[in-house]
Amino acid sequence: MTTSRLNRREMMAGSAALAGLGLAGSQVVAQDGNQIVLGASVPLTGVFAFAGVGIHAGIQDYLKILNDSGGIKGRTIKYVAEDTGYKVDASVAAFNKITSQEKVALYYADSTGFAKTINPELDRRGSMMMGGASFATELNDPKKYPLQFIAGPDYTEMFGILLRYIVKERPGARVAFVYSDTEFGRDPIAQGEAIAKDLKLSVVEKIVTPPGSVDVSTEVLKLRRANPDFTIFHGYVLAPIPEFITHAKQMGMRSNFMGTFWTMDNSTVQRMGEAADGFLGVMPYRYYYDKEGSAPLLEKIRQIRPEYQSTGYLQGFVTAMLMAEAIKRTVEAGKELTGANIKAGLNSIKDFDTGGLFGVPISIPGNSVPVGRIYRFDAKAKQMLPASDWIKL
């Protein structure tokens, strides 16, 4: 859909959303000395580069839209990023380099490990707010991480969204958790089990494997014996999920297989091959190709980049958008741009229209945005398509 084909209502909604995000107006863009700096540790190389490249592009695109529209009260946001290869020591070095050269108000963190490692320094400085690629449950604690936030639901909240979908589809269902033997993988398991119990779902098996490509034949036999109605994978990007699903289907299993955010990119799911058909998972944002209803910012993205953009791109774009909105509210309140004031600006977000990137208005009372939707892969359409309404926790 091009702008010329938007109806009047959609165009008015789009203008209102862009204005609300500080993207409308004709202010003169400020000179460099008046810029707000967003620093970033981004994995443009290494094992997480597939996501990092998209994240990097998403941040850049949002800031270009913002700055080209006059910025925030005439102040532009300058983006300064360093490649980290997804290594904590490199991320710390990047942080130290950028903050020694720039007055940083915002920072994007590439991993849970870095976000946790740098937190004492973040608190000590008190000069910036941090978001990033991690959805770790631990970071969703305003007392322990007062200057950090997650641009979506944390991993436990993702399990909560999946399990609420399951209980609506099949009350009393049998559920299995399959997760990697990593901090990432273990994150939501204990709390997920407690949520399942509260929802009167039975967790009939928990299977842990090394991350990446491994022989899962023994684990699939365990899964078959447990005979779950739904199987949730977490702590992986791709492998060994396709192997699990392929072997399970060959054994006649009829379980519904599900994933969490970093597995949910449409191109990633397509790489599962035949195992992808019917795969379900939780997504906080609309997909690039989703033209349902009014989504002016998503339409803007499609105009800028006519080719499919990944979930990583959307995560970077949304994180930058929420950071900018927090700055905008702080500036409008006449407050100094300190970490605490910027975070307070973020926490003032209530029933906020994100230009359609989230499918419902969002609020950020704490460190996360506990909203998501279940999507199912349609092999004929070659797309993840909605399988539920938007679920708010």
| Cβ burial, residue 143 (10 Å; 0-12/13-18/19+) | exposed
- Please, what's the b/e burial string for 36-69 (b: 16 or more CB within 10 A of its CB; e: otherwise)? bbbbbbbbbeeebbbbbbbbbbbbbbbbebbbeb
CA 389 – CA 7 distance, rounded (Å): 24
pLDDT for the residue 173: 98
Show pLDDT as tens, one digit a residue, over the chain (393 residues). Answer: 333 333 333 333 333 344 444 343 323 333 455 899 999 999 999 999 999 999 999 999 999 999 999 999 999 999 999 999 999 999 999 999 999 999 999 999 999 999 999 999 999 999 999 999 999 999 999 999 999 999 999 999 999 999 999 999 999 999 999 999 999 999 999 999 999 999 999 999 999 999 887 899 999 999 999 999 999 999 999 999 999 999 999 999 999 999 999 999 999 999 999 999 999 999 999 999 999 888 999 999 999 999 999 999 999 999 999 999 999 999 999 999 999 999 999 999 999 999 999 999 999 999 999 999 999 999 999 999 999 999 999
pLDDT for the residue 7: 37
The DSSP string of 186-213 is HTTHHHHHHHHHHTT-EEEEEEEE-SSS
CA 347 – CA 241 distance, rounded (Å): 37
pLDDT for the residue 15: 38
pLDDT for the residue 1: 35
pLDDT for the residue 19: 41
